[in-house]
Amino acid sequence: MKVKKQYPYDFKTIFGISIQGLISVAGAALMSSMFMVYLTDYSGIGAWGAVLATTVLFVGRIFDAVNDPIQGWIMDNYKGGKWGKYKPFVFASVIGSTVALIFLYNLPDSFAKIPLLAGIWVFFFYFAFDVATSFNAFIPFTRSITDDDVLRSKFFTVSRIVGTCGAIPLGMITTIALAVGDKLGGIKNAIGILTVAMLIPVGAISLVGVACVKEGKHREEGENHERIKFRDIGRMLTQNKAMLTHVLASLFSGFMWTLMTTVEIYYLKWAYCADLTTGAVDNGKLAMLTIVLGMASIVPILFATPFSPILIKKLGSNIKVQILSIGLSAIPCALITVFQYMGILQKNLPLFLVLVFAGGMISGLGYVPATGIWAECIDYNRYKTGKEMGALVQAVRGILEKGQSALAGGIVGSLLIAIGYSVDAKTGDYLGNLSKMPGILNNFGVIMGIIPAVLAVVAVIVYKKMWPITPEIKQAMKEQFEKDQEER
């Protein structure tokens, strides 16, 4: 007779974990793949779109530096209730993210024609999305279920795989809009309609997933609840060397991927789908190649991610797998710049896609250990300070990741502003000075090539020199947590 698995190994928990992050991953895919190109090419704002996008991203990071810690402090100070400590915030995040994204990508035509109104619309809903995502306490929520690194890695793996599958249609909105734009009143209108049609079911599925997961216990919950004070935050920033090391290394490694994903779509469009003598874009070809690029990016992630828990178990820790994946990533990145300056890459689409595929494989290996390390940072904070402060640790992660995305977008935006980048919102054709386009393609080759390769090498050095959780410390943490559990 088959024995029914108990929590947290039961099907309901695994199922809930696997789908609860759909809107988070899909939203991130939508923003990374489309925010810049939507404002610059398809929103109808015109040449001002690059300025607006760059400004929003820059101001947003200043906002995050203040807002994310406040939201983390609010969540950590909540003593928990019927639904748990972090679960209510995850619910709110799903709803808020879905609504904000729908409005962000449905900029009214009447607003697009007036710079002030367009700016207000984009600023408001971008920051509404920003606030909503900051309440997504996925790591402390999931971490509460178990202290076992292997089980955690399985949770992060299923969430990553399902989330990536869910992100595929969102990441292809621009592609589909290019194909059906003529039938839906233009590319801009098509993007708005497709965003609504895809985000509502994704948001609903995420809510079902959150409802299925029973949150575990936390050290500061119920009768044991003690408010987080400023000195506790100071201790976290000074004593949590694991978090400081991971932040510093991720500052380099994470920026590597955001640079690549931000630039890839622009490179694909102008290197392989445009006539640089007239500025005309073959939207049919672009739609097809965008699908191919998406597959070259996503399929290897889906293929490689399941191997992460196996590697973690074999090598013995998240940190070893993380170092391996980041070190390997420098190879395809460096080759992009080499082949671009050799004059090969722009003429060889298969080579470009192979390098993107290789990057996707490495990214697939690295996500689970990187997320597991953030959970370890929360554990280490509990070990050193006696308090988990999971939401505040995740707030640090949020500031870092959103800052990287914004800076990558800012670099590209500044480059586009410098050349007077201007695109027809209806056709996608280039309206600026075409003589500058070969130079910008070379710059794109550097931004998504040698710069990320150097960043990867620096990240590896940081991990190797600074990571504090040795096997001995890991065992001491385990013993301390078991003692805490007995005392409760």
DSSP state string for 50-91: HHHHHHHHHHHHHHHHHHHHHHHHHHHH---BTTBSSHHHHH
pLDDT at 100: 94
pLDDT at 241: 92
pLDDT at 296: 81
How far is the C-alpha of 76 from the C-alpha of 237, rounded, in Å? 16
Q: Is the pLDDT of residue 385 over 70?
A: yes
Q: What's the domain range around 94?
A: 14-211+231-481
pLDDT at 224: 54
Contact status, residue 54 vs residue 417, Cβ threshold 8 Å = yes
Within 10 A of 20 (CB to CB), how many other CB atoms are there? Answer: 29
How far is the C-alpha of 463 from the C-alpha of 450, rounded, in Å? 20
The whole-chain average pLDDT of the chain stands at 82
Is 153 among the domain residues?
yes
Of residues 331 and 227, more confidently modeled: 331
Is 32 among the domain residues?
yes
Q: Is 402 exposed, middle or buried (0-12, 13-18, 19+ CB in 10 A)?
A: buried
Is 58 among the domain residues?
yes
Could you read off the pLDDT of 204-247 as tens digits, one per residue?
999 999 988 888 765 544 445 567 777 777 888 888 999 889 98
Nearest alpha-carbon partner for 382 in 244, 487, 251, 242: 242
Nearest alpha-carbon partner for 444 in 480, 476, 408: 408
Q: Which two tokens stand for residue 302?
A: 């889906």
Q: DSSP labels for 272-330?
A: HSB-TTT--B-HHHHHHHHHHHHHHHHHHHHHHTTHHHHHHHHHSSHHHHHHHHHHHHH
Burial 22-31 (b: 16+ CB within 10 A, else e): bbbbbbbbbb
Could you read off the pLDDT of 337-346 as tens digits, one per residue?
999 999 899 8
Distances (CA, A) of 458 to 248, 377, 461, 464: 10, 20, 5, 10
Mean pLDDT of 56-64: 78
Nearest alpha-carbon partner for 25 in 235, 165, 226: 165
Is 7 among the domain residues?
no
Those residues whose C-beta lies under 8 Å from the C-beta of residue 394, and which sit 6 or more positions away, are: 72, 137, 138, 139, 140, 374
Q: Is the pLDDT of residue 481 over 80?
A: no
Those residues whose C-beta lies under 8 Å from the C-beta of residue 79, and which sit 6 or more positions away, are: 85, 220, 221, 222, 225
Residue with tokens 């991203």: 57
CA 228 to the chain's CA centroid? 28
How far is the C-alpha of 102 from the C-alpha of 388, rounded, in Å? 35
| % of the chain surpassing 90 pLDDT | 18
Single-letter residue type at 474: K
- Where does 386-420 have alpha helices with state H? 390-418
How far is the C-alpha of 388 from the C-alpha of 378, rounded, in Å? 6
Is 217 among the domain residues?
no
Looking at the DSSP assignment, which residues form a beta bridge with residue 81?
A: 84
CATH number where 324 lies: 1.20.1250.20
How many domains is the chain partitioned into structurally? 1
pLDDT at 363: 78
Mean pLDDT of 106-126: 89
**Is residue 408 very low, low, confident or very high in pLDDT (cuts 50, 70, 90)?**
low
Q: Which two tokens stand for residue 35?
A: 């925010």
Is 432 among the domain residues?
yes
Is 8 among the domain residues?
no
Q: Which two tokens stand for residue 30?
A: 């939508």
**Is residue 406 very low, low, confident or very high in pLDDT (cuts 50, 70, 90)?**
low
Q: Which two tokens stand for residue 348?
A: 């060889």
CA 122 to the chain's CA centroid? 20
**Is residue 421 very low, low, confident or very high in pLDDT (cuts 50, 70, 90)?**
confident
pLDDT at 322: 92
Is 49 among the domain residues?
yes
Mean pLDDT of 451-479: 90
Give the range among 125-134, 285-294, 352-361 with minimum mean pLDDT: 285-294
Single-letter residue type at 116: L
How far is the C-alpha of 161 from the C-alpha of 158, rounded, in Å? 5
Distances (CA, A) of 397 to 125, 378, 391: 22, 11, 10
- Taking each helix axis from N to C terminus, what angle separates 230-239 and 349-385, rounded to the nearest 10 degrees? 120
Q: Is the pLDDT of residue 268 over 70?
A: yes
Q: Is the pLDDT of residue 175 over 80?
A: no
Of residues 488 and 15, more confidently modeled: 15
How far is the C-alpha of 205 from the C-alpha of 214, rounded, in Å? 17
Mean pLDDT of 461-477: 90
Kind and range of the H or E run holding 244: helix 241-272
